[in-house]
């Protein structure tokens, strides 16, 4: 199990690092919002780009944070129901729900990838004054879903070991 445990730790480490780095985007987002609000209400001079950049930064923050949320157990689940089970029983429930999460990720990954490929091929841009290329922002979807998928597999490995042996993956 040494190789499996190593792979799980690597996925955990990657999602922890990316989640922490992306969390710093909230500071950039907050700065953009404060700047926009200050200009809009204090000087009656809103920017043409503040709302657009805020939207794309927030979407990137959410999409790239999925693996980190999964790592920390911050995703949505029925905790009132889930908490009634032993750790081994909780792993069994996770094993039952993992295929649905993986199916969701599969669809998002391939549809998001197709969306990025189309935007790259066509040179698609936003319809605003900034006229930003869309694909760099859209890339957050397949990348974020890929990281979420890896974390689901890492958690699945933990759950299989816990469910079958009653022990934690070392």
Read off φ and ψ for residue 121, nearest 5 degrees.
-65, -35
According to DSSP H, which parts of 38-139 are helical?
50-64, 66-71, 79-82, 87-122, 135-138
Cα 144 to Cα 131: distance, rounded to the nearest angstrom: 24
Cα 160 to Cα 167: distance, rounded to the nearest angstrom: 10
Cα 10 to Cα 26: distance, rounded to the nearest angstrom: 25
- List pLDDT tens digits, range 95-143: 999 999 999 999 999 999 999 999 999 999 998 888 999 999 999 999 9
Question: Quick one: pLDDT at residue 43?
Answer: 94
Burial of 83 (0-12, 13-18, 19+ CB in 10 A): exposed
Cα 79 to Cα 21: distance, rounded to the nearest angstrom: 28
Helix (H, G, I), strand (E, B) or coil at 58: helix
Blockwise average pLDDT, block size 10, the chain, 170 residues:
91 96 92 96 92 93 95 82 89 94 97 98 93 96 98 97 90
């Amino acid at each position: 199990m040494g190789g499996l445990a190593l792979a799980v730790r690597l996925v955990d480490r990657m999602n922890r690092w990316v989640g922490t780095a992306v969390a710093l985007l909230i500071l950039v987002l907050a700065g953009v919002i404060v700047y926009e609000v200050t200009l809009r209400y204090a000087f009656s001079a809103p920017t043409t780009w503040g709302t657009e950049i805020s939207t794309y930064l927030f979407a990137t923050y959410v999409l790239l944070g999925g693996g980190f949320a999964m790592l920390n157990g911050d995703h949505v689940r029925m905790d009132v129901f889930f908490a009634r089970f032993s750790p081994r029983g909780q792993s069994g429930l996770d094993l039952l729900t993992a295929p649905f999460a993986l199916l969701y990720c599969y669809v998002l990954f391939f549809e998001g990838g197709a969306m990025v490929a189309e935007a790259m091929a066509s040179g698609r841009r936003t319809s605003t004054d900034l006229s930003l290329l869309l694909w760099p922002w859209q890339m957050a979807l397949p990348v974020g879903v890929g990281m979420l998928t890896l974390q689901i597999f890492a958690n699945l490995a933990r759950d299989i070991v816990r469910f079958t042996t009653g022990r934690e993956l070392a």
